[in-house]
Amino acid sequence: MDTGCTSPTKAGKSCSAAHYKDGYCRWHHPELEAQRQAERVAGGKAKSNRARAKKQLADQVMSIADLDALLCDALTKVSTGTMEPNVGSAMAGLAKTIVGIRASGDIEKRLEALEVAAGVGTIRRIG
Ligand SMILES: [Zn+2]
């Protein structure tokens, strides 16, 4: 017997997946339920790990005021000897890079707004 799967779908229609054995497809065969469950759990874990990583990144984004406070704290610690100067230098270098990246992004946005206002630039060409 090599007809289609006999299991009805949630919508009440007959399943159109390819026949696997015993009148069921691979998605409906009771013998494969444990394997399907394990795959669903693995898929869910991968999905929640991605979501957690994304949230962690968002939580780590600091405002300029946060960076300012962090660097002022570092300056105090370096000057009182409670932080290694090279750690303070690394923090200052990273903060400078972050500020530079944000500044160029800000300039890009302002330039785009000016181009739109002037009727030139990328947006006008698209429209
Ligand atoms: Zn099926």
According to the model, what pLDDT value does residue 1 have?
47
Stretch 41-64: mean pLDDT, rounded? 85
Q: In angstroms, what is the span from residue 13 Cα to ligand 1's centroid?
A: 10
Q: Is the CB of residue 105 less than 8 Å from the CB of residue 99?
A: no
Could you tell me which residues come within 8 angstroms of residue 119 by beta carbon, excluding any fewer than 6 positions away? none
Do residues 36 and 69 both lie within one domain?
A: no
Give the pLDDT of residue 126.
Answer: 43
- Closest by CA to 73, choosing from 82, 60, 64, is 82
Q: Can you tell me the mean pLDDT for 71-77?
A: 95
Asked if residue 43 is part of any domain, the answer here is: yes
Backbone angles phi, psi at 124, to 5 degrees: -65, -40
Question: What's the gap in Å between 42 CA and the centre of ligand 1?
Answer: 22
Does one domain contain both 39 and 63? no
Same domain, 102 and 69: yes
Q: Is residue 124 part of a domain?
A: no
Token couple for 44: 């869910």
Q: How far apart are CA 26 and CA 36, in angstroms?
A: 9
33 and 77, same domain (yes or no)? no
Distance 1 CA to ligand 1 centre (A): 15
Q: What is the pTM of this model?
A: 0.48
Question: Residue 123: pLDDT above 80?
Answer: no
Residues near ion ligand 1 (CB < 5 Å) are: 5, 7, 15, 17, 25, 28
- For residue 12, how far is its CA from the centre of ligand 1 (angstroms)? 12
- How many angstroms is it from 45 CA to the middle of ligand 1? 25
CA distance readout (Å), 106 to 109, 113, 118: 5, 11, 18
Domain that holds residue 37: 1-7+15-47
What's the pLDDT score for residue 119?
Answer: 86
Residue 53 placed within a domain:
no
**Residue with structure tokens 């026949």?**
19
For 110-120, the pLDDT digits (tens) are: 999 998 888 88
Contact between 25 and 14 under an 8 Å Cβ cutoff? The reply is no
- pLDDT score of 122 more than 80: no
